[in-house]
Amino acid sequence: MAEECASTQPQTIWEFHTRRKASRGTELDFAIEVVDAVNESGSRKRQAVVINLPATVEMSTPNVYAGHGRAHVRAHGASQALPRQLHTHNDRGCGVAAAELGVLAGADRVEGTLLGNGERTGNRNLVTFAMNLYSRH
């Protein structure tokens, strides 16, 4: 249905995302299979496909979340044509740590809110994340 909608507006640059509500709640092999299918569909029409790895409910520790992201990088290569995007939350106080480890594991993009206010209270704070990255340089 998304492809059909995009085909009616060829002048628009479309970007498709594949995401599960809680990426850690999906078996890794199946998650990679789904991403492959979405990417194949989008690449046939030269549409950008973004792998979004949400931790909408923190179901694991930051290192496990980053390992899941790293598995996607290994399975799909480090191509800019298939960016990995992180969507972490701070339910257990680990949102910033999960995002930092995810970036080290190969993520290209991060989502978040300013000062933790926005999509849902407790979402990862982009200000803290940015200051942590800045302090390392």
CATH number (domain holding residue 33):
3.20.20.70
pLDDT over 50 at 133, yes or no:
yes
Residue 104 belongs to a domain: yes
Q: What share of the chain is helix, strand, coil (3-state, %, to 5)?
A: 45, 20, 35
pLDDT over 70 at 29, yes or no:
yes
Say how many domains are in the chain. 1
Q: Yes or no: say if 60 and 89 are a contact pair by the CB < 8 Å rule.
A: no
Report the predicted TM-score, pTM, of the whole model to 2 decimal places. Answer: 0.77
Report CA 7 to chain centroid distance, whole Å: 25
Residue 1 belongs to a domain: no
pLDDT over 50 at 121, yes or no:
no
Tell me, what DSSP letter sits at residue 82?
Answer: S
Residue 38 belongs to a domain: yes
Percentage of the chain with pLDDT > 90?
10
